[in-house]
Amino acid sequence: MKKLLTGLALSSLMLGAMPTLAADYVIDKEGAHASINFKIQHLGYSWLTGRFNDFGGEFSYAADNPGASAITVNIDPSSIDSNHAERDKHLRGEDFLHVSEYPQAKFVSTSVTETDDGLGVVGDLTLHGVTKEITITAEKIGEGKDPWGGYRAGFSGTTELRLKDFGIDYDLGPAAQTVQMELHIEGVRQ
């Protein structure tokens, strides 16, 4: 009996020292607690801002083991919204997103690392039929129980995309070669 108790104690100590497995979350898009926003300079005179209204995905995360984290986000590029119907029609067309040819965009992480500023999320972004590796600088906003009996975790992140890297070469002038992306993701633990 003494050997059994000693074995159980050692096992529990070893399990306690192991990193926690990442928990799985679904992005809370339906509750309007997530957004994918962008901004790009307009001729070097001002900023054009907008967002993608239709997206979803999931992520896994463990605070004590960020390297075990992963994220997948699916985006409907036809849901682009710059608060101007005619401009959105142009952005959906062949000059930019060409949504009839490329109806989906997707980000799949390949690694997550701790940095001095939070988290570095590296992954493959497929946009306009081109897949490129990008890095998102992210930070955890918080996590905990919600008022409805669930558990949530939230993050924000930024990255910058060169339009030509994704085959979008419409000339908007030298100040508009890149688009800045801002991501806000809140997930509900499954």
66 — pLDDT class (breaks 50, 70, 90)? very high
In the predicted structure, residue 12 carries a pLDDT above the cut 50: yes
Q: Which residue has the tokens 């399990």?
A: 15
Q: 60-96 burial string, b = 16+ CB within 10 Å, else e?
A: bbeeeebeebbbebbbebbebbbeeeeebeebbeeeb
162-173: b (≥16 Cβ within 10 Å) or e: ebeebebeeebe
Please report the domains of the chain, with CATH numbers, ordered by start residue. 20-189 (2.40.128.110)
pLDDT in tens, 125-154: 999 999 999 999 999 999 999 999 999 999
* pLDDT value at residue 4: 43
pLDDT at 20: 61
Cβ neighbours, 10 Å, residue 108: 15
pTM of this structure: 0.86
